[in-house]
Amino acid sequence: MQWEVVIGLENHVQLTTNSKIFSGSSIKFGAEPNTQASPVDLALPGVLPVMNKGAVERAIRFGLAVGAKIAPQSVFARKNYFYPDLPKGYQISQFEDPVVQGGSLTFAYEKDGKLETKTVNLTRAHLEEDAGKSLHEDYHGMSGIDLNRAGTPLLEIVSEPEIRSAAEAVAYAKALHGLVMWLGVCDGNMQEGSFRCDVNVSVRPVGQQEFGTRCEIKNLNSFRFIEEAVNYEVRRQIELIEDGGKVVQATRLWDPDRKETRQMRSKEDAQDYRYFPDPDLPPLVISQEWIDRVKAGMPELPAAMRERFIRDYGLPEYDSLILTSSQAMATYYEAVVAKAGKANAKAAANWMMGDVSSALNRADIDIERSPVEASQLALLLRRIADGTISNNAGKKVFSLMWDAQSQDENLADTIIEREGLKQISDTGALEAIVDEVLAANAKSVEQYKAGKEAAINALIGQCMKASKGKANPAQVTELLKKKLSA
Ligand SMILES: Nc1ncnc2c1ncn2[C@@H]1O[C@H](COP(=O)(O)OP(=O)(O)OP(=O)(O)O)[C@@H](O)[C@H]1O
Ligand SMILES: [Mg+2]
Ligand SMILES: [Mg+2]
C-alpha cells in the first residue's frame, strides 16, 4: 500500500515584550526560580489581568506579514485543565475568535535534489499565556515548580494540514522562524524555548480523501528533532496500520536520546477544556487606525523583498525565497550586489546558496558572523566576471578568504596575486599553448574536422592542463575554433 503523510504544525512563538501578557512582571530568561511571578501570574484572589498592548501589536505585525485578516474584535477564553505548573487551573488563550485569521506562508526547499517552492495556508494565530515549568532534576531530591514563565506572552501559529513530508515540515518551520525574527516579534532562541513546535502527523492511503487519525508530538525545539520525530512517527503509524492496528489520537513526546516518540496522554478534545470567555477580560478591539500605525512602522517584508529580487535582479523564485529566509541573509546579499553590480546578481545568489552556505553550515554559524564580508565577496565575484580568475580558482580564493579572517577590502586581489591564480588572458601566451596542444593531438583535430564537434572538449581540456588551469576557458575555446576552421 502507498501511504500519504499529512502534517499540520502549531508553533508557540514567545513574543519580545519586556513584561508578561497580563501583568507587569519581567519575562527575562534565566532569573532565579519564582522571582518573576506576580500575584496576577499566580491568580491570587482579588487581582485582575490587564492586556499587554505590545503583545497585541506583535500579533498584528505577524498577521500583516502573512496576509491574514486581523480580527476587529477578538476574545480571550479560559482553557481549563489541571497541571502542577498551571497555577490558575486554566490558561488564558483565544478559542473562537482569534486575533489573526487565515494567511499563508511560502517557502523553498530541496526535494530529491530538485528545488521546490510551496505555499501553506495558515488557519489562525492566537495570543495566549505560557504556563510555568516543572523542574524534575536536582531540586532537593524533589520536583519543583518555577512559575517565572507563567504568563509569558505567546503567539500560537496554526497551519492547515497541508504539509506532506518531514522535509516540508522543517522548511515550513525554518521559514516561520526566519519571519518572526525578521518582524522582531520573537528572538528565535530555540534553546531557551522562544520558538517551539507541535507537530501533528497522520497517514492515509494515497487517493483517500478523509484524513487519518493524527498524533501530536509536543514541544520540539530543534529543526532536527522535527525531522526525526516526523519520520519516526510516520513509520510507526504505517507499521501499526499494516499490522491490523489503529492509530489512537494522542499527545506524544519525542525522546531525542532513544530517537522515538512516546505516548504522553490520550488526546483531549476542545470540549475537555471547557473553554469559556474570560469574564475578567473585555473583548480585544483593534481599530483600522491601530493596524495602519503598526503597518507604517514595519520593515520591508520578506514577501515584498522577494518580489523585488525577482523583478530587479532577475532571480528565480527559489533563489529569492532562500535569500529572504532571514533578514541577515537578505541584507548581506544586497550588500554584495551593491558592490558587485546588478550584472552579477545571479552569480551572487549562486555563491550565497553554494559555497557561502556550505561554509556557514560547516562552521555552524549565521551569516552575521561570516568571516568573509559582503564587500570582500563582491570583489571576488567581479574578478571572476572580468576574467581575472576562473570560477574554479574563485572557489579556492573564497576558501582562503574564509580562513584569513581579514578585514582587508582587497583581500581577493591579495590572495589571487599571492597564489598566482590569475588566468592567462594574454593572447600571445594563449596562442603558444593552443598551437602546442593542436600539434600534439592530431587525432582529436582530425575528428573535429570530420564533424565530431565534441572532440573540441578534449582539446580545451588539454589547454587547461598545459596552462595549469590558468588559461581563460572562453578565450581558449574561441582560439581553438578559429585555428581549427582556418
Ligand atoms: N488528520 C490530521 N493529520 C495531521 N494534522 C492534522 C490533522 N487534522 C488536523 N491537523 C493539524 O493539527 C493541528 C491542530 O491544531 P489546533 O490548535 O487547531 O488544535 P489542537 O491541537 O487540538 O489544540 P491544542 O492547541 O490544544 O493543542 C493543525 O495544525 C491542523 O492542521
Ligand atoms: Mg493548538
Ligand atoms: Mg495541538
Give the pLDDT confidence of 228-258 residue by residue, as tens digits.
Answer: 999 999 999 999 999 999 999 999 999 999 9
Query: Is residue 164 pLDDT above 90, yes or no?
Result: yes
Q: Closest residue (by CA) to atom 28 of ligand 1? A: 8
Please give the pLDDT value at position 136.
Answer: 81
Tell me how far apart the alpha carbons of residues 299 and 301 are, in angstroms, rounded to a whole number.
6
Point out the least confidently predicted range of 104-113, 177-186, 263-272, 298-307: 263-272
When pLDDT is averaged across residues 458-471 and rounded to a whole number, the result is 90
Tell me how far apart the alpha carbons of residues 295 and 298 are, in angstroms, rounded to a whole number.
5
Please give the pLDDT value at position 218.
Answer: 95
Q: Which domains does the chain have, with CATH numbers?
A: 3-290 (no CATH), 300-419 (no CATH), 427-485 (1.10.10.410)
Closest-lying ligand 1 atom to the alpha carbon of residue 160: 31
Strands 215-220 and 250-255: parallel
When pLDDT is averaged across residues 5-12 and rounded to a whole number, the result is 98
Pocket of ligand 1 (CB under 6 A): 6-10, 158-161, 200-202, 211-212, 214, 216
Tell me how far apart the alpha carbons of residues 358 and 352 are, in angstroms, rounded to a whole number.
9
**Cell numbers linked to 75:** 476574545
Tell me how far apart the alpha carbons of residues 399 and 358 are, in angstroms, rounded to a whole number.
11
Query: Is residue 104 pLDDT above 90, yes or no?
Result: yes
Please give the pLDDT value at position 145.
Answer: 92
Closest-lying ligand 1 atom to the alpha carbon of residue 158: 29
Query: Measured in angstroms, how far is the CA atom of residue 21 from the centroid of ligand 1?
Result: 24
Please give the pLDDT value at position 245.
Answer: 95
Please give the pLDDT value at position 266.
Answer: 79
Bridge partners of residue 73, in order along the sequence: 285
Please give the pLDDT value at position 270.
Answer: 73
Please give the pLDDT value at position 345.
Answer: 98
Query: Is residue 111 pLDDT above 90, yes or no?
Result: no
Q: Average per-residue pLDDT in the chain?
A: 94
Contact call for residues 132 and 98 (beta carbons, < 8 A): no
Please give the pLDDT value at position 470.
Answer: 85
Query: Measured in angstroms, how far is the CA atom of residue 399 from the centroid of ligand 3?
Result: 45
Q: What is the DSSP code string of 84-101?
A: TT-TTSEEEE--SS-SEE
Give residue 354's Cα distance to chain centre. 16
Bridge partners of residue 105, in order along the sequence: 120
**Could you say which DSSP state residue 281 is in?**
S
Query: Is residue 269 pLDDT above 90, yes or no?
Result: no
Closest-lying ligand 1 atom to the alpha carbon of residue 10: 29
Query: Is residue 182 pLDDT above 90, yes or no?
Result: yes
Instruction: Kindly indicate the confidence band of residue 52, based on its pLDDT and cuts at 50, 70 and 90.
Output: very high
Query: Measured in angstroms, how far is the CA atom of residue 270 from the centroid of ligand 2?
Result: 10
When pLDDT is averaged across residues 438-450 and rounded to a whole number, the result is 93
Ligand 1 mutation target, pool 158, 165, 203, 251, most atoms within 8 A of CB:
158
Q: Closest residue (by CA) to atom 29 of ligand 1? A: 8
Q: Which ligand is nearest to the CA of 123?
A: 1
Closest-lying ligand 1 atom to the alpha carbon of residue 267: 22
Please give the pLDDT value at position 140.
Answer: 80
Please give the pLDDT value at position 472.
Answer: 84
Tell me how far apart the alpha carbons of residues 403 and 381 are, in angstroms, rounded to a whole number.
18
Query: Measured in angstroms, how far is the CA atom of residue 154 from the centroid of ligand 2?
Result: 12
When pLDDT is averaged across residues 19-30 and rounded to a whole number, the result is 96
Tell me how far apart the alpha carbons of residues 18 and 40 are, in angstroms, rounded to a whole number.
16
**Cell numbers linked to 134:** 516543572
Please give the pLDDT value at position 265.
Answer: 81
**Cell numbers linked to 125:** 494565530
When pLDDT is averaged across residues 175-180 and rounded to a whole number, the result is 96
Please give the pLDDT value at position 112.
Answer: 84
Closest-lying ligand 1 atom to the alpha carbon of residue 198: 27
Q: Is the ipTM of this complex over 0.95?
A: yes
Please give the pLDDT value at position 110.
Answer: 86
Query: Measured in angstroms, how far is the CA atom of residue 267 from the centroid of ligand 3?
Result: 9
Determine what percent of the chain is predicted with pLDDT higher than 70. Answer: 100
| Integer-rounded Cα radius of gyration of the chain | 29
Ligand 1 mutation target, pool 214, 247, 265, 269, most atoms within 8 A of CB:
214
Please give the pLDDT value at position 414.
Answer: 96
Highest mean pLDDT among 67-81, 138-152, 253-267: 67-81
Query: Is residue 369 pLDDT above 90, yes or no?
Result: yes
When pLDDT is averaged across residues 383-402 and rounded to a whole number, the result is 93
Tell me how far apart the alpha carbons of residues 126 and 93 are, in angstroms, rounded to a whole number.
7
Determine what percent of the chain is predicted with pLDDT higher than 90. Answer: 85
Left if phi > 0, otherwise alpha if psi is -120 to 50, otherwise beta: which for 52? beta
pLDDT digits (tens, 9 = 90+) for 276-291: 999 999 999 999 999 9
Using CA atoms, how far residue 93 sits from 223, 278, 283, 296, in Å, is 26, 9, 12, 28
Please give the pLDDT value at position 387.
Answer: 87
When pLDDT is averaged across residues 126-150 and rounded to a whole number, the result is 89
Instruction: Kindly indicate the confidence band of residue 129, based on its pLDDT and cuts at 50, 70 and 90.
Output: very high
Contact call for residues 107 and 118 (beta carbons, < 8 A): yes
Please give the pLDDT value at position 463.
Answer: 92
Tell me how far apart the alpha carbons of residues 85 and 104 are, in angstroms, rounded to a whole number.
33
Point out the least confidently predicted range of 58-67, 107-116, 334-343, 454-463: 107-116
Query: Measured in angstroms, how far is the CA atom of residue 123 from the centroid of ligand 1?
Result: 10
Q: What is the DSSP code string of 388-452?
A: SS-HHHHHHHHHHHHHH----TTHHHHHHHHHT---B--HHHHHHHHHHHHHH-HHHHHHHHTT-
Please give the pLDDT value at position 217.
Answer: 97
Closest-lying ligand 1 atom to the alpha carbon of residue 211: 1
* Residue 27 CB-half CA count within 13 A: 29
Query: Measured in angstroms, how far is the CA atom of residue 118 from the centroid of ligand 2?
Result: 23
Query: Is residue 360 pLDDT above 80, yes or no?
Result: yes
Strands 142-146 and 3-14: unpaired
Query: Is residue 467 pLDDT above 90, yes or no?
Result: no
Bridge partners of residue 276, in order along the sequence: 78
Tell me how far apart the alpha carbons of residues 14 and 183 are, in angstroms, rounded to a whole number.
13
